[in-house]
Amino acid sequence: MKLLSADASPFARKVRVLILETDLTDAVETVVAMTTPYDTNQTLLAANPVGKLPTLIREDGPALYDSRVICRFLDDHASAGLYPANRLWDTLTLEATADGIMDAAVLMTYEKRLRPPEYQSVDWLDAQWKKVMGAVSVINDRWMSHLSGPLDMSHIATGCALAYLDFRHGDRNWRKGNDALDDWLAVFAERDSMKATAPE
Protein backbone atom coordinates (compact mmCIF):
# COMPACT_ATOMS: atom_id res chain seq x y z
CA MET A 1 0.00 0.00 0.00
CA LYS A 2 1.05 3.59 -0.61
CA LEU A 3 0.06 6.57 1.49
CA LEU A 4 0.02 9.85 -0.41
CA SER A 5 1.04 12.36 2.21
CA ALA A 6 2.68 15.70 2.98
CA ASP A 7 4.70 16.53 6.06
CA ALA A 8 2.72 19.66 6.92
CA SER A 9 -0.74 18.07 6.65
CA PRO A 10 -2.15 17.30 10.11
CA PHE A 11 -4.59 14.84 8.57
CA ALA A 12 -1.79 12.93 6.88
CA ARG A 13 0.24 13.08 10.07
CA LYS A 14 -2.59 11.29 11.91
CA VAL A 15 -2.22 8.37 9.54
CA ARG A 16 1.57 8.36 9.72
CA VAL A 17 1.46 8.31 13.53
CA LEU A 18 -0.98 5.41 13.40
CA ILE A 19 1.32 3.54 11.01
CA LEU A 20 4.20 3.88 13.47
CA GLU A 21 2.10 3.05 16.52
CA THR A 22 0.73 -0.11 14.88
CA ASP A 23 4.03 -1.23 13.35
CA LEU A 24 2.74 -1.04 9.77
CA THR A 25 5.82 0.65 8.31
CA ASP A 26 6.65 -2.39 6.21
CA ALA A 27 3.10 -2.60 4.87
CA VAL A 28 2.58 1.05 3.93
CA GLU A 29 4.98 3.13 1.86
CA THR A 30 4.66 6.87 2.44
CA VAL A 31 4.89 8.90 -0.76
CA VAL A 32 5.17 12.68 -0.63
CA ALA A 33 2.57 14.33 -2.85
CA MET A 34 3.08 18.08 -2.97
CA THR A 35 -0.22 19.73 -3.77
CA THR A 36 -2.22 22.92 -3.26
CA PRO A 37 -5.92 23.77 -3.69
CA TYR A 38 -4.92 25.71 -6.82
CA ASP A 39 -2.63 23.09 -8.34
CA THR A 40 -3.62 19.54 -7.43
CA ASN A 41 -0.99 16.82 -7.70
CA GLN A 42 -2.02 14.63 -10.65
CA THR A 43 -1.11 11.33 -8.97
CA LEU A 44 -3.26 12.35 -6.04
CA LEU A 45 -6.13 13.43 -8.28
CA ALA A 46 -6.03 10.13 -10.16
CA ALA A 47 -6.53 8.27 -6.89
CA ASN A 48 -8.86 10.69 -5.12
CA PRO A 49 -11.41 12.71 -7.12
CA VAL A 50 -11.39 15.58 -4.61
CA GLY A 51 -7.58 15.72 -4.64
CA LYS A 52 -7.05 15.84 -0.89
CA LEU A 53 -4.44 14.37 1.39
CA PRO A 54 -4.09 11.80 2.78
CA THR A 55 -5.03 9.12 0.27
CA LEU A 56 -4.24 5.42 0.63
CA ILE A 57 -3.63 3.49 -2.59
CA ARG A 58 -4.38 -0.21 -2.26
CA GLU A 59 -3.42 -3.05 -4.59
CA ASP A 60 -6.67 -4.95 -4.11
CA GLY A 61 -9.28 -2.21 -4.22
CA PRO A 62 -10.00 1.44 -4.89
CA ALA A 63 -8.04 4.09 -3.06
CA LEU A 64 -9.26 5.15 0.35
CA TYR A 65 -9.48 8.79 1.39
CA ASP A 66 -10.43 10.94 4.34
CA SER A 67 -8.12 10.39 7.27
CA ARG A 68 -10.81 8.80 9.43
CA VAL A 69 -11.59 6.20 6.77
CA ILE A 70 -7.91 5.40 6.29
CA CYS A 71 -7.28 5.19 10.03
CA ARG A 72 -10.20 2.82 10.55
CA PHE A 73 -9.00 0.65 7.68
CA LEU A 74 -5.39 0.47 8.87
CA ASP A 75 -6.41 -0.12 12.47
CA ASP A 76 -8.53 -3.04 11.30
CA HIS A 77 -5.71 -4.28 9.06
CA ALA A 78 -3.32 -4.30 12.01
CA SER A 79 -5.89 -5.52 14.56
CA ALA A 80 -4.54 -2.72 16.72
CA GLY A 81 -7.64 -1.84 18.72
CA LEU A 82 -7.34 1.92 18.36
CA TYR A 83 -11.12 2.06 18.01
CA PRO A 84 -12.05 0.05 21.12
CA ALA A 85 -15.61 -1.27 21.18
CA ASN A 86 -16.15 -0.38 24.84
CA ARG A 87 -15.60 3.32 24.17
CA LEU A 88 -16.09 3.53 20.42
CA TRP A 89 -18.50 6.45 20.34
CA ASP A 90 -16.40 8.53 22.69
CA THR A 91 -13.30 7.77 20.63
CA LEU A 92 -15.04 8.70 17.38
CA THR A 93 -16.51 11.88 18.82
CA LEU A 94 -13.20 13.07 20.22
CA GLU A 95 -11.47 12.21 16.95
CA ALA A 96 -14.11 14.24 15.09
CA THR A 97 -13.56 17.16 17.48
CA ALA A 98 -9.82 17.06 16.81
CA ASP A 99 -10.47 16.84 13.07
CA GLY A 100 -12.70 19.90 13.38
CA ILE A 101 -9.78 21.78 14.91
CA MET A 102 -7.63 20.72 11.97
CA ASP A 103 -10.29 21.74 9.45
CA ALA A 104 -10.56 25.26 10.82
CA ALA A 105 -6.83 25.66 11.32
CA VAL A 106 -6.02 24.50 7.78
CA LEU A 107 -8.55 26.97 6.37
CA MET A 108 -6.76 29.70 8.31
CA THR A 109 -3.45 28.57 6.84
CA TYR A 110 -4.86 28.67 3.32
CA GLU A 111 -6.25 32.15 3.91
CA LYS A 112 -2.88 33.46 5.07
CA ARG A 113 -0.62 31.58 2.66
CA LEU A 114 -2.61 31.36 -0.58
CA ARG A 115 -4.61 34.58 -0.77
CA PRO A 116 -2.96 37.93 -1.51
CA PRO A 117 -2.77 40.09 1.64
CA GLU A 118 -5.26 42.62 0.28
CA TYR A 119 -7.89 39.88 -0.07
CA GLN A 120 -7.37 38.20 3.28
CA SER A 121 -10.27 38.47 5.72
CA VAL A 122 -9.51 39.11 9.37
CA ASP A 123 -13.14 38.31 10.16
CA TRP A 124 -12.78 34.91 8.45
CA LEU A 125 -9.58 34.14 10.34
CA ASP A 126 -11.15 35.13 13.65
CA ALA A 127 -14.26 33.07 12.95
CA GLN A 128 -12.17 29.98 12.26
CA TRP A 129 -10.07 30.58 15.36
CA LYS A 130 -13.25 30.84 17.42
CA LYS A 131 -14.14 27.31 16.24
CA VAL A 132 -10.65 26.11 17.14
CA MET A 133 -10.78 27.56 20.62
CA GLY A 134 -14.29 26.30 21.25
CA ALA A 135 -13.19 22.77 20.45
CA VAL A 136 -9.94 23.07 22.42
CA SER A 137 -11.86 24.33 25.44
CA VAL A 138 -14.34 21.46 25.24
CA ILE A 139 -11.53 18.90 25.11
CA ASN A 140 -9.79 20.56 28.06
CA ASP A 141 -13.00 20.70 30.11
CA ARG A 142 -14.71 17.41 29.20
CA TRP A 143 -12.29 14.94 27.68
CA MET A 144 -9.19 14.81 29.88
CA SER A 145 -10.30 11.62 31.61
CA HIS A 146 -10.54 9.94 28.20
CA LEU A 147 -7.14 11.28 27.14
CA SER A 148 -5.70 9.96 30.40
CA GLY A 149 -6.79 6.44 29.45
CA PRO A 150 -5.29 3.83 27.11
CA LEU A 151 -4.11 5.00 23.69
CA ASP A 152 -6.77 5.13 21.02
CA MET A 153 -7.25 7.04 17.78
CA SER A 154 -8.68 10.08 19.52
CA HIS A 155 -5.38 10.58 21.35
CA ILE A 156 -3.49 10.57 18.06
CA ALA A 157 -5.96 12.95 16.40
CA THR A 158 -5.88 15.36 19.34
CA GLY A 159 -2.09 15.32 19.50
CA CYS A 160 -1.78 16.03 15.78
CA ALA A 161 -4.40 18.80 15.90
CA LEU A 162 -2.74 20.64 18.77
CA ALA A 163 0.71 20.21 17.27
CA TYR A 164 -0.59 21.75 14.04
CA LEU A 165 -1.83 24.77 15.97
CA ASP A 166 1.68 25.21 17.33
CA PHE A 167 3.19 24.71 13.88
CA ARG A 168 1.01 27.16 11.92
CA HIS A 169 -0.71 29.36 14.49
CA GLY A 170 1.60 29.47 17.48
CA ASP A 171 1.17 33.22 17.83
CA ARG A 172 -2.48 32.76 18.82
CA ASN A 173 -1.69 30.74 21.98
CA TRP A 174 -4.34 28.02 22.26
CA ARG A 175 -2.84 27.07 25.63
CA LYS A 176 -4.24 30.06 27.51
CA GLY A 177 -6.91 28.74 29.87
CA ASN A 178 -6.32 25.14 28.75
CA ASP A 179 -3.67 24.05 31.22
CA ALA A 180 -4.72 20.41 31.47
CA LEU A 181 -4.54 19.94 27.71
CA ASP A 182 -1.24 21.79 27.56
CA ASP A 183 0.21 19.39 30.16
CA TRP A 184 -1.20 16.39 28.32
CA LEU A 185 0.35 17.43 24.98
CA ALA A 186 3.75 17.97 26.59
CA VAL A 187 3.78 14.26 27.47
CA PHE A 188 2.09 12.96 24.31
CA ALA A 189 4.45 14.90 22.03
CA GLU A 190 7.36 12.87 23.43
CA ARG A 191 6.09 9.65 21.87
CA ASP A 192 8.47 8.30 19.24
CA SER A 193 5.69 8.36 16.63
CA MET A 194 5.06 12.06 17.22
CA LYS A 195 8.73 12.97 17.12
CA ALA A 196 9.25 11.00 13.91
CA THR A 197 6.37 12.74 12.12
CA ALA A 198 6.92 16.31 13.27
CA PRO A 199 6.87 18.74 10.30
CA GLU A 200 9.96 20.79 9.66
Residue 200 lies in a domain: no
Question: Residue 132's domain is classified under what CATH number?
Answer: 1.20.1050.10
- Show which of 23, 55, 78 is a domain's final residue: 78
Assess if residue 197 is contained within a domain: no
> Do 104 and 170 have their domain in common?
yes
Residues 110, 71, 25, CA angle at the centre, nearest 5°?
100
- Residue 199 in any domain: the answer is no
Mean pLDDT in residue range 89-104: 98
If one counts the domains in the chain, the total is 2
Give me the pLDDT at residue 172, please.
Answer: 96
Q: Residue 70 — very low, low, confident or very high, per pLDDT cuts 50/70/90?
A: very high
Average pLDDT, the chain: 97
For position 5, what pLDDT does the model report?
96
pLDDT of residue 171: 95
Query: Residue 51: left if φ>0, alpha if ψ -120 to 50, beta else—which one?
Result: left
Q: Both 64 and 92 in a single domain?
A: no
175 has a pLDDT exceeding 90:
yes
Q: What is the pLDDT of residues 125-142, one digit of tens each?
A: 999 999 999 999 999 999
User: What pLDDT, in 10s, does the model give residues 20-51?
Assistant: 999 999 999 999 998 888 889 999 999 999 99
Q: Which residue segment(s) compose the domain that 35 sits in?
A: 2-78
Answer with the one of 22, 54, 78 that is the final residue of a domain. 78
Domain-located, residue 121? yes
Given 78, 103, 130, the domain boundary residue is 78
Measure the CA angle with vertex 152, ends 103 and 131; round to 5°: 25
113 and 74 inside one domain: no
The pLDDT assigned to 36 comes to: 86
